Amino acid sequence: MSALQRLRQIALAVILTWGWKRAVIAMAAGALSVLALAPFNLFPVLFITFPVLVWLIDGSGGRYGGVPAAALTGYWFGLGYFVPGLYWIGYAFFVEADIFAWLTPFAVLGLPAYLSIFTAIGFALARLLWTKNATRVLALAASLTIAEWLRGHALTGFPWNAFGYALSEPLPLAQTASLIGLWGMTFLTVAIFASPATLIDRTPDRSIAWRAPAAAIALLIVMSIFGAIRLSLHPTTMVSGAKLRLMQPNLQQDAKFNYAAKAEVMKKYLALSDRASGPQSTGVRDATILIWPESAFPFFLTREADAMAQIAELLPKGTVLITGSVRAPDLPRGTPITRAYNSIYVIDHDGSVLAVYDKLHLVPFGEFLPYQELMEKLGFEQLTRVRGGFIAGSVRHALPIAGAPSALPLICYEAIFPGEVAGRNERPGWIVNLTNDGWFGISTGPYQHLEQARMRAIELGLPLVRSANTGISAVIDPVGRTVASLGLGIEGILDANLPAALPPTVYAQLGDVPAAMLVALGVILAVRRRVAKRHP
């Protein structure tokens, strides 16, 4: 028996499977697909799992043209994909285990159960466009891209682990993101890796069945060549005179939210920031920009005069501090403070605040609750336990930095939203991403977060400087090369020069327009094939 005959046997078995066995196959395909993401980056596994999706939809029969059956299959695939891909969310509920541990199963299973609705929508839409030839691969690519876009926008959005991140490694493949962004990469990922499904198609000319896989391999080669050329044309260059020092304290979460630990926290930050990094190092005096992570203090920084004085004493003239901190709203004197902003401060060597950015995109259930007042009356509270929830900022703006280009601020998971940083009128010189992944322990979560933040650098042609409480802190150039990094769960400092930005990329100028064109093309070809079949 030839390899092609064996493949057809396997495909037929998948197509004819029904009931619980079908659900198991779909969930197994989803779980294996997670291996394509960081920290594993085994993207060839999708050549196995994505053809299975095509065959499962091929076998979706029953009422209403098989659309409900396809949707249910998509739901099981999503559940298999999101549970192992997002298991690390459960770690956050053990930071204050006595209060939140009981919610762990609801988070670890509940969020994937919600996100799987979008893969179900993608499969249902694909079934509506389904054909019996290779265009069904494009129908699946277009439909899942639409579904993933919806997942990234509905109810504030959560595009974590979008399929397009499977092509973020190796680095030459990721360069295509500078043209078409994450959603375009999602379309290509599905189309490329689902293409071997057409090998089972019965055609008068056997060579026709090989056209889709051959085109997919050719596209991967073209992407690799484009990426290699782009990398070679843009070696890492540095901004003259801009020297970075990133402080990674590896502070435990119970200290970060404990006001009684104020003195201990400040002592650690100050000592670590001025630590010599080598025989020739003079500590913080080597840097022009010192960077501390997200919500670094268990207090309102600018309301603690002694803390501001200590920062002023630490910073030599010509050095600024970029730090995360909760910020109290501007209220009349004596008014109780019940809510706060999650902010970034730029502080000068004399302790004066030069610029402030308030986080726009807050984390549901982490920084606020849907229907906040009602949920609090029922006894619920978000993980940060800020009564009333954090206050969202009003506008994203670049931060002016003395001695360096202006910086685009992104706090925590704001870095996973490509639409929030593309197509901007003002062109910053770099991205500064302050985060606290200490909620998620030593898990795959921080690696996934870094991979997604790095994609923003490639998309926009801007260097990324990422300071994380427990890691992974990194300096990444505008084509995605890691200039310097500090690993997960390590206390230390990271010294590096600031990479220079590239001219605006195609994606930086056009945003999601190229991706929308790819999706439209996939839909048009699928519809055209269906119409031609009905009216030969």
pLDDT, tens only, 40-79: 999 999 999 999 999 999 999 888 889 999 999 999 999 9
Residues 6+ away with beta carbon under 8 Å from 488: 437, 442, 446, 447, 470, 471, 472
| pLDDT tens for each residue of 449-487 | 999 999 999 999 999 999 999 989 999 999 999 999 999
Q: Is the dihedral of CA 447, 452, 453, 454 positive or negative?
A: positive
Rounded to the nearest 10 degrees, how much is the dihedral formed by the CA atoms of 139, 140, 144, 147?
50
Q: Judge if 177 and 247 occupy the same domain.
A: no
CA distance 167 to 36: 8
Residue-wise over 37-76: b if at least 16 C-beta within 10 A, else e?
bbeebebebbbebbbbbbbbbbbbeeeeebbebbbbbbbb
Q: Judge if 486 and 515 occupy the same domain.
A: no
Residues 6+ away with beta carbon under 8 Å from 362: 156, 342, 368, 389, 390, 392
CATH number where 244 lies? 3.60.110.10
Residue 368 lies in a domain: no
Give the three-state DSSP class for 257.
Answer: coil
Supply the pLDDT for residue 27. 98
CA distance 313 to 365: 38
Residue 375 lies in a domain: no
Asked if the bond preceding 39 is cis, omega within 30° of 0, the reply is yes
Residue 381 lies in a domain: no
Q: Are 8 and 201 in contact (CB under 8 A)?
A: no
Supply the pLDDT for residue 122. 98
Q: Are 73 and 26 in contact (CB under 8 A)?
A: yes
Residue 380 lies in a domain: no
CA distance 357 to 30: 38
Residue 104 lies in a domain: yes
CA distance 82 to 33: 10
Residue 158 lies in a domain: yes
pTM exceeding 0.85: yes
How many structural domains compose the chain?
2
Q: Judge if 219 and 278 occupy the same domain.
A: no
With 80 as the cut, is the pLDDT of residue 420 above it?
Answer: no
Give the three-state DSSP class for 347.
Answer: strand
Q: Are 362 and 384 in contact (CB under 8 A)?
A: no
> Is there a catalytic annotation at residue 21?
no
CA distance 244 to 81: 38
Mean pLDDT of all residues in 20-48: 97
CA distance 249 to 311: 16
Q: Are 273 and 284 in contact (CB under 8 A)?
A: yes
Token couple for 261: 């630990």
Q: What is the DSSP letter of 45?
A: G
Q: What is the DSSP letter of 497?
A: E
524: left (phi over 0), alpha (psi -120 to 50) or beta: alpha
Per annotation, catalytic residue among 169, 412, 414, 451? 412
Q: List residues bridging with 492 in a β-sheet.
A: 248
With 90 as the cut, is the pLDDT of residue 376 above it?
Answer: no
CA distance 132 to 256: 57
Q: Judge if 312 and 268 occupy the same domain.
A: yes
Token couple for 5: 């005959």
Token couple for 481: 């090369």
User: Nearest-CA neighbor of 10 among 66, 62, 68, 49?
Assistant: 49
| pLDDT tens for each residue of 271-314 | 999 988 777 777 889 899 999 999 878 888 888 889 999 999 99
Share of the chain above pLDDT 70, in %: 91
> Is there a catalytic annotation at residue 294?
yes
Residue 390 lies in a domain: no
With 80 as the cut, is the pLDDT of residue 384 above it?
Answer: no
User: Nearest-CA neighbor of 418 among 63, 89, 69, 149?
Assistant: 149
With 80 as the cut, is the pLDDT of residue 229 above it?
Answer: yes
CA distance 172 to 167: 9
Residues 6+ away with beta carbon under 8 Å from 162: 148, 151, 152, 182, 183, 186
Lowest-confidence pick of 80-89, 123-132, 185-194, 291-300: 291-300
445: left (phi over 0), alpha (psi -120 to 50) or beta: alpha
Supply the pLDDT for residue 179. 98
Range of the domain at 457: 239-360+395-501
Residue 294 lies in a domain: yes
Residues in the chain: 536
Q: Judge if 283 and 247 occupy the same domain.
A: yes
What ranges in 67-205 are assigned the alpha helix state H? 67-86, 97-100, 104-128, 135-151, 171-174, 177-194
Supply the pLDDT for residue 352. 93
pLDDT confidence bin for 143, thresholds 50/70/90: very high
Question: Inter-axis angle of helices 46-58 and 177-194, to 10 degrees?
Answer: 60
Q: Judge if 192 and 325 occupy the same domain.
A: no
Asked if the bond preceding 514 is cis, omega within 30° of 0, the reply is no
Q: Judge if 520 and 490 occupy the same domain.
A: no
With 80 as the cut, is the pLDDT of residue 177 above it?
Answer: yes
Per annotation, catalytic residue among 359, 367, 451, 459? 359
Mean pLDDT of all residues in 75-98: 87
Q: Judge if 449 and 493 occupy the same domain.
A: yes
The secondary element (H helix, E strand) that includes residue 342 is: strand 341-347
Q: Judge if 32 and 171 occupy the same domain.
A: yes
Q: Are 165 and 451 in contact (CB under 8 A)?
A: yes
Q: Judge if 169 and 189 occupy the same domain.
A: yes
Q: Judge if 107 and 251 occupy the same domain.
A: no
Supply the pLDDT for residue 377. 62
Asked if the bond preceding 192 is cis, omega within 30° of 0, the reply is no
Per annotation, catalytic residue among 148, 169, 294, 451? 294
Mean pLDDT of all residues in 223-243: 97
CA–centroid distance for 58 within its chain: 31
Give the three-state DSSP class for 493.
Answer: strand
Provide the mean pLDDT of the chain: 90
Pairing of the two strands 320-327 and 341-347? antiparallel
Residue given tokens 């290509």 in the structure block: 188
Q: Judge if 201 and 277 occupy the same domain.
A: no
Q: Are 289 and 245 in contact (CB under 8 A)?
A: yes
Residues 6+ away with beta carbon under 8 Å from 246: 291, 465, 467, 473, 475, 486, 493, 494, 495, 496
